[in-house]
Amino acid sequence: MKKILLIILSSVLLWSCASNNVTLAHIMETKDINELSAYIKKYPKHKDIAFLKQKLLSLQIAANPKKAADIPKPVIKTLEEQEAEEFAKLMAQDKSGHNAKTVNVLNQMFNNDISDTNAILLVANNSDCNMILRIQGDKYYNLAVPAKGQNTLVLPQGTYKLTGSLCGATYTSTKVIQKNLSLALGTARK
């Protein structure tokens, strides 16, 4: 009886050990991270351990995919937007110094001194678009001229290159300013 009991006990023990052992074929096929990790810990000297570690790592990465960081796109302003910002800034500066500018223009208008080296430039914008007239000579000026409006500037007499963009059209001219000058640009859109 002892022999039969010993045989039954040993066969149950062998059967339980055999069921706990996972075959290499099963490990190669599995996608269970815990099972693969346990096998690697149990058999660290196995000949296929490098492959199994790589498989474990790829399964771990696939299980926890990292969310790609959103990279903010640079704000690229169009030329029209840049011009609009610059126009608003120039108009704000013009309004803050409006009284001093008016006094300067009126003094220049009523100045009868022949030896005076300054002149008034009056720019009228007859178009439906705001414009910045860039005046380049010995000094550099930016004159904001609103749509259907005008603006003035007192500047030293001399030769100036005038450039600007008016409703998408480019204006370029070279002027010799020896006396007061009135410049009308654009026609109203219909």
Neighbours of 95 (CB within 10 A): 10
Domain count within the chain:
2
Would you say residue 190 lies in a domain? no
pTM of the model: 0.56
Beta bridge partners of 181: 121
Contact criterion met (CB below 8 Å) for 52 and 22: no
pLDDT at 133: 93
pLDDT band at 124 (very low <50, low <70, confident <90, very high): very high
pLDDT at 175: 92
Phi, psi of 33 (to 5 degrees): -65, -40
Whole domain around residue 54: which residue ranges? 22-64
Say if residue 116 is in the same domain as residue 141: yes
Cα 13 to Cα 67: distance, rounded to the nearest angstrom: 48
Query: Given 3-state DSSP classes, what are the helix, strand and coil percentages for the chain, each rounded to the nearest 5?
Result: 40, 25, 30
Please state the rounded mean pLDDT for residues 52-64.
84
Would you say residue 122 lies in a domain? yes
Q: CA of 51: how far to CAs of 23, 30, 46, in Å?
A: 16, 13, 10
| Most confident region among 1-10, 70-79, 140-149 by mean pLDDT | 140-149
Say if residue 116 is in the same domain as residue 47: no
Would you say residue 31 lies in a domain? yes
Cα 147 to Cα 5: distance, rounded to the nearest angstrom: 109
Better pLDDT: 159 or 10:
159
Identify the CATH number of the domain in which residue 142 sits: 2.60.40.10
